[in-house]
Amino acid sequence: MRKNHNPNKDKKLDKSKFMHRIIIPVHISNNEYAQDLLKILKITLQSLYKSVHSKTAITIVNNGSNAEVVDFLNNEFKEKNIQELIHTESIGKLNAILKVLRLVDEEIITISDADVLFLNGWQNETTKVFNNFSKAGVVGIVPQFKQYTVNSFNLFFDNFFSKKLKFTQVVNPEGLKKFYKSIGWNDNYNKFFLKTNLTITSKNGEKAIVGSGHFVATYRKEVFDYLPKESSKYLLGGDSERKYLDEPVLKSGGWRLTTNDNYAYHLGNIYEDWMQDELDKSDNKPSQKLIEISSSHFKGRKFSYFIKNHLFRKIISPKSIFKKFLISKGLDKNIANGY
């Protein structure tokens, strides 16, 4: 039996009051690899709570985690520390993200692993890069070595003769060292990588590093108009990151960029005391002016996508040609030979 009319019938949804959505897929099981991951997840979330502005919404997708993690996340949602919590069985990292991504209404979207310590200022610095570079489709906050060698050929095409694209001095070499230590690298890499990075300079003189990693990055909503309709076939890895995070940016005509300074730490799966120390040092909701993101309208064109990301890439990719291109952008000739 039905009595009266449902008051929500034909009522339009209210526009989101948020401007920034953060999506974190969480998969913590009961194995040896995961023994510290809940502790690390708590640091990740605390660093977010301390660093984001009031127009930020946090979505956690629990992707088949154990009961202790479920209880913790339920409490975080109950306490209104996070705005959305989705529980699923283990459906794969990218599929967990897609559950949210296809319905997001916010202007920019951060997709982050559950082992990231966010530093004060990361949000506004990310927005500044979007505002300084109208073609920015994704912005990372952790500089890494030679990020420009992957998925940046459209940016090279657009700035082939520009003097604003050149090698400049690394701002935070300690941040670089910390990242590569976190992923288990030995200290025997080419130390030149700690000195210069390929950057692009905006009209107002602000720099951004060319390229971006995946473990934490922020995207303009428009790039996800180019998402494939089907789900990912992989629990982790495979072609999932390229297909669902890289290709949409390229098909929209967007560039991959990273902040010139380091604004987060990758934590890995083993807890270390410095992580809590770093969290304790950060301000609790530091006072900062909220920076609104400027509007941008990406117009992806199949012909342009093919020319820049396939034909041009094929022409410039041979080692001898690419080395000459890097030298033309300020890389020392002697260093280029072993770069």
**9-35 pLDDT, tens digit each:** 544 444 568 999 999 999 998 877 778
Which domains are seen in the chain, by residue range? 20-284+298-336 (3.90.550.10)
pLDDT for 239: 74
* Placement of tokens 């009522």 in the chain: 11
- Residue 150, pLDDT > 80, answer yes
Q: Which of 114, 110, 93, 117 is nearest to 41 (CA)?
A: 114
Q: What are the tokens at 329?
A: 């952008």
pLDDT for 231: 76
Confidence of residue 8 (pLDDT cuts 50, 70, 90): very low
40: part of which helix (H) or strand (E)? helix 37-51
For 249, counting Cβ atoms within 10 Å of its Cβ (0-12 exposed, 13-18 middle, 19+ buried), the class is: buried
Q: What is the DSSP code string of 116-144?
A: EEEPTTHHHHHHHHHHH-TTEEEEESS--
For 252, counting Cβ atoms within 10 Å of its Cβ (0-12 exposed, 13-18 middle, 19+ buried), the class is: buried
Summarize the confidence of residues 71-85 as an average pLDDT: 97
Name 165's bridge partners.
200
Contact 267, 115 (CB under 8 A): yes
Instruction: Compute CA 31 distance to the chain's CA centroid, rounded to the nearest angstrom.
Output: 27
